[in-house]
Amino acid sequence: MPERNTFTWNSMTNAYTTSRLVFEAERLFYLMPEPDQCSWNLMVSSFAQCELFDSSIEYFMRMHKEDFVLNEFSYGSGLSACAGLRDLKMGTQIHASVVKSRYSNSVYMGSALIDMYSKTGNVHYATKVFNGMCERNVVSWNSLISCYEQNGPVSEALEIFVRMMYFGFKPDEKTLASVVSACASLCAIREGKEIHARIVKSDMVRDDLIICNALVDMYAKFGRIDEARWIFDKMPLRSVVSHTCLVSGYARVASVKTARSMFMGMTERNVVSWNALIAGYTQNGDNEEALNLFLILKRESVWPTHYTFGNLLNACANLADLKLGRQAHAHILKHGFRFQNGPEPDVFVGNALIDIIKLRNKNSSSSCLSNKVSDFGGNCVQPKSSDTQSSLLSQSLSQSGTDEEPPSERLLILAGGIVALGKFDALHIGHRELAIQAAKRGIPFLLSFVGMAEVLGWEPRAPIVAECDRKRILSSWAPYCGGVIPRELQIDFSKVRYLTPRQFVEKLSKELGVRGVVAGENYHFGYRAAGDASDLVKLCEEYELEAYVINSVMDNNQISGALNSCDRKERGQVSSTRVRYALDKGDMKYVSELLGRKHRLVLMMEDQERFTSEGNRMSAPKSCLLNLAPKEGLYENCSVLIDKNVIPCRVIVDTTDIHLECYEVANFSCITSRDLKILGIELW
């Protein structure tokens, strides 16, 4: 274009965001001579819509700092990001800003606030916002009904639905879908049928997929599989959810063959579908077939969840097969799952694991049920249901020959050290900088929490770094840390989830005995991320701990768009999200810049039958990978690492498999002739 103005810049940025090319939109944003309110709103909303909630909040705060007027669109996107992060503190801060603005009585703002408080689990404040609204619409009623349906008490969702009808509001598809789900959870058959009749009268059952899925699920949970199937057959459109509800329903009424037939007819399957069928076989006594299904799941590169592993362990326990149980347990640990003191899904897996351990110990550990167990810092507390599991698991696993240190002993190593706080999932250059700053002030430790996805119900994702590769990476940081290798300690997130910021710092000081902490400027901690970096400094002063807050490490890829900017954040912060994005795009050079090293894929080589070889080419299913692979495509100038040998190769990643092509046959025979447990592949 010969001439460009802000409108044309915004149009191009919007085109990128509509296509979900959010980082391309971001780079265009940095090149804009004069971004306006619309430009900033596009960035806040697009990152929120792509579930990059941290970046969305960052742009929201910068927009406010630059004195751009925040409107309903800005506030709504910011609240959506807070809901995605489960960040109650930031959400309440935005709420306070809304109250001071001219949008305080907006029905749109009220609905967005109810949704935010609902997603952060704060039913009381959601109800308070609703009761204080001057005007309500169907969306605000829907938000509150959904809040109770998801957080409980579920019966309140039905009562609010009755109130909604009393005040003359006409329920829409979302209302009815939430109410049907509430009836299914309560097993309220009469109310469920009444809602179904209303849906039929309003003619919504014909073309609304969400309502139809909810009805199929409701009747399946009621055990009325014929009615569920009748609705399913009448649906003009069906999704993977529709089929999964019916598979689960058939399994629930012991029609496993029909469930399998339905499952095999699905054009698309997800891990929930697999879990439903595996659970069906386990519950109906066909444990061998449940195990076979798990093997097929792995071959098809489906990433298992805690429910998958719980059903797998139950099948092993029902078969009284200790060897299979041990293999399943090892598989669970390789996937990074932790079960002590976990929420309900982890209790499910923990119970199954206890059954396996009893095969080994012949119930000798049953006396542990009355023992006291150690909490986060080592104090003894009377066990509840999940604590009892922790005690039994700890003792039983030690009897079964695991060499893992007891948690209390592992925590003692922190005494007098400088602890870097963070997630440390990608071990990128930002994490390395935290370790460097900790090493400058004392013995460096990395303290992070595992199991957040399982506790918070996030979709399980393959790790960026394989668990078995973390020590190698930390060892490579020693030259940056004065010759000292940072030590890593991971603690179950479920153990510290409900600690306030003050309680967390108190644990660090009094029970772990650390001398100081290092954190990034955007670090949040405590229940619902209530504390930020400034709170950390203040609390550490109270408990006589050294506290160091460092600036975020910036992404050099963003500098070109903001050379003249005084604001460091305009260049973008190095994050695991950016690493995942670069891997998804197959940009390995960018990945290497963010990680400060080449990305290494780790292949499990124990099951050689799953590998195929021909000439100088070897292939393996993606399910053998222990970490995240890049985008499908061809990658030249890669390396296979065996002991100290570096073998050049090319790597081809496709939908289901990963292929290695060595440039020389002699090099390939070096790989296939070795008895390897794992194989490292570096991509460039």
- Residue 116 pLDDT exceeds 90: yes
Helix 306-318 to helix 271-283 angle (10° resolution) is: 20
pLDDT of residue 368: 37
d(CA 157, CA 455): 24
Give the mean model confidence (pLDDT) for residues 298-326: 76
Give the mean model confidence (pLDDT) for residues 593-616: 81
pLDDT of residue 372: 26
- Give residue limits of the domains in the chain: 344-409, 413-553, 599-683
Q: Where are the beta strands (DSSP E) in 434-566?
A: 444-450, 487-492, 516-520, 546-550
pLDDT of residue 354: 57
Q: Kindly report whether the peptide bond that precedes residue 171 is cis, defined as omega within 30 degrees of 0.
A: no
Half-sphere exposure (Cβ direction) of 102: Cα atoms closer than 13 Å: 3
pLDDT tens per residue, range 626-671? 899 999 999 988 888 876 678 888 999 998 889 988 877 555 655 5
pLDDT of residue 206: 63
Strand partners, 614: 617
pTM assigned to the model: 0.56
Give the mean model confidence (pLDDT) for residues 262-288: 87
pLDDT of residue 343: 39
pLDDT of residue 616: 80
Question: Helix, strand, or coil here: 420?
Answer: strand
Could you tell me the CA-to-CA distances from 273 to 116, 209, 346 in Å, in that order? 29, 18, 19
d(CA 574, CA 455): 25
pLDDT tens per residue, range 343-388? 344 555 555 555 555 555 544 433 332 232 233 333 333 333 334 4
d(CA 47, CA 581): 12
Instruction: Return the ∠ at Cα 459 (arms to 145 and 590), rounded to 5°.
Output: 130
The residue among 51, 39, 41, 47 whose CA lies nearest residue 22 is 47
Could you tell me the CA-to-CA distances from 482 to 134, 337, 436 in Å, in that order? 62, 33, 8
pLDDT of residue 350: 57
Q: Which residue's entry shows tokens 């925040």?
A: 70
Enumerate residues 6+ apart whose C-beta is below 8 A from 555.
Answer: 571, 572, 573, 574, 578, 594
pLDDT of residue 353: 58
pLDDT of residue 563: 34
pLDDT of residue 395: 40
Q: For residue 560, what pLDDT band results from cuts at 50, 70 and 90?
A: very low
Q: Which fold has domain 413-553?
A: Rossmann fold (3.40.50)
d(CA 446, CA 484): 13
